[in-house]
Chains A and B, each alone.
Chain A
Amino acid sequence: MAEPVLEIRGLEVTYRRGAERIRAVAGLDLTIGPGEAVALIGESGSGKSVTLRQVLRLDPERTTEVAGSIRVCGEEVGKLDAAGLRRLRGGRVGMVFQEPLLALDPVYTVGQQIVEAIRAHEPVSRAEARARALELLRLVHVPSPERRLDAYPHELSGGLRQRAMIALALSCRPRLLLADEPTTALDATVQIQVLLLLRELQERLGLAILFVTHDIGAAVEIADRIAVIYAGRIVEEGPVRSVIRSPLHPYTRGLLASRTEGALVKGRRIAAIPGSPPDLARPPPGCAFAPRCSLALEACSRQVPKLETPVPGHAVRCLRAREWAASPA
């Protein structure tokens, strides 16, 4: 297999807030190969966005403790100096944010921002960079790109803004695209268009994508593999079909059952997972999901289950996973 674009090993992220220490990510492993799209699924506060930000070391270093290893194209991110970090950010790795109106500088035009990003990485003239910016807007299917190049972010619609954001992230031909809930802030019809665009770019440019979302539907559209994250750990990971059709972790099953699409029958309740995620300042000693799990054994709350592979290519972190693997639900 080719060298992975992204390789995360034993990532631990702890935030210090006053005397409190919040363990946002507690030992996370994830590998993304070239041109592969992986969806990281989890609810708010599960550590999915934290993981994404750590790939570019975007959190303030004063209040963040990081352990473990993150390698991008074989290069250890934690060891990069300021110049290396700048090359990584935007150069090898592009990032798309959830709300493009907040993530774009409001007082610069879309074109100015793309030109600036290109010129920060490559010694090209302003005119050349502008020509490339135009090309990028075409690539992401922005209609009448010449006009949109000189538009300010607030003058574009939500969908166009997100396309511009994607163009910006791709401006220096990165090998990996980090997408932090890129469709959450959009209308349902626009969501699909953006997902299709990402899928198309992945195929055309051989782009690896790490797609963070809480929307399983979006994940299915875009991803080759799905990783489910809960309380800072990946609890299940595998090919999309396998995870959706035969989920092995009770949490994944709960997530799938709580989907509303096609299940909104009058008089029927939406199946929700009872309870709420653990307090990350005081994480439970065992499986973090055990307190909410209807199938929990006594052993579950004693130690963190290891990641096992009961089905080839499909890993899960649950003591009882082998039972489900043997007899699918």
Chain B
Amino acid sequence: MLRYTLRRILYALPIMLGVSLVCFLLVHIAPGDPLVSVLPPDATEALRRQMAELYGFDRPLPEQFLRWLARALGGDLGTSIATARPVASEVFRAVGNTVTLAAFATAIGFTLGAIFGFVAGYFRDSPVDRAASALAVLGVSVPHYWLGMVLVILFSAQLGWLPATGAGPGGSTEWAWDWEHFRHLILPAVTMSVIPMGIVARTLRALVAEILSQEFVMGLRARGLSEFAVFRHVVKNAAPTALAVMGLQLGYLLGGSILIETVFSWPGTGFLLNAAIFQRDLPLLQGTILVLATFFVVLNLVVDVVQTALDPRIRRA
């Protein structure tokens, strides 16, 4: 198991290298001069060249990449062109906010999704199953930015119960564990939880129904195990697949949703990416994408390792 984990980590390294290369190149392939947005329209050619030199844009691409990579490894992602602040601190603050949002959204989504999925799978073709399945389909199909707006209209504009935008009172961009901040979190978290809820519920329903139809379940009953013990076996059989699906969903949520964060002005990575794209802030864009991509690689790694620990058939294969 330890050897497998180490090997998986080793495999992740070339993937990371490739990811960083793609991050770097994609941004450079995109049209537009990043300096246009910071320089005054009447800037002299000399000033433009001076700025380009300062940011290193005048050097050949491979050299730019290697320098960027070397600094990134040391935790320095460069300086934002638009705000002149270090990219790393901008990204990490945004990541913190996105993680907070994603954590609450997954807590809601996975809990409800798991409950709906298990109930629907266990009582297949019953009214309970139909209700849970309908809710799951709705969750997957409803566009979440639309749902977000509807929730804002209902709970903020009409009822006035919850704030419509922002991460805290007075435009606060730092998360704090207090009621005011929590109130700001509810609407975006609920909106964000709907998709993983639907996907987890649908996957689990199919999974549980499939496991229940297997002969070993009759075997378990034939041994006189209680329904609760049978349920435990079903859970353990469902766990590897369920975790893989949940891991991927968590990855999507941690990546931040540009749409949801924009609708709710939530200062997370999605919001940051959106701003970086519009301002052609190359270092910020590269840094954000790199951090998000790293997230996915690490998350896949964790899911793989956990899944292997749970399912003996993968381990020895």
Contacts and interface: CB of A to CB of B under 8 A. Distances in A.
Interface stretch (A27-35, A85-93, A308-316): A85-93
Nearest to B223: A90
A172 B218 CA distance: 18
Given A102-B216, A108-B236, A120-B229, A89 B222 contact: yes
Contacts of A88: 224
Residue with the greatest number of chain A CB neighbours at <10 A, chosen from B215, B216, B236, B313: B216
B219 interface: yes
Contacts, number: 79
Given A102-B215, A116-B229, A107 B310 contact: yes
Given A90-B222, A104-B216, A154 B313 contact: yes
Contact of A97 (B219, B229, B237, B316): B219
A19 interface: no
A55 B215 CA distance: 17
B52 interface: no
A215 interface: no
Contact of B236 (A85, A97, A107, A121): A107
Given A58-B222, A88-B224, A106-B237, A152 B313 contact: yes
A86 B224 contact: yes
Contacts of B313: 106-107, 152, 154
Interface in A67-98: 85-91, 94-95, 97
Contacts of B224: 85-91, 117, 120-121, 172
B312 interface: yes
Nearest to A171: B223
Nearest to A56: B222
A155 interface: yes
A271 interface: no
A109 B237 CA distance: 13
A105 B222 contact: no
A146 interface: no
Contacts of A99: 215
B304 interface: no
Instruction: Kindly state the interface size class of chain B when it binds its partner.
Output: 20 to 34
Contacts of B229: 116, 120
Interface in A152-208: 152, 154-155, 168-169, 171-172
B226 A120 contact: yes
A121 B226 CA distance: 10
A131 interface: no
Contact of A155 (B214, B226, B316): B316
A270 interface: no
Nearest to B315: A152
Nearest to B316: A155
Interface in B7-42: none
A103 interface: yes
Interface in B201-225: 214-216, 218-225
Nearest to A55: B222
B181 interface: no
Interface in B274-317: 310-313, 316
A53 B27 CA distance: 65
Given A86-B224, A89-B222, A109-B312, 14 more contacts: A56-B222, A91-B224, A95-B219, A97-B219, A102-B214, A107-B311, A107-B313, A116-B225, A117-B223, A117-B224, A120-B226, A152-B312, A154-B313, A171-B223
9 contacts: A58-B221, A86-B226, A91-B224, A95-B223, A97-B215, A102-B214, A102-B216, A105-B236, A154-B312
Interface of B: 214-216, 218-226, 229, 233, 236-237, 310-313, 316
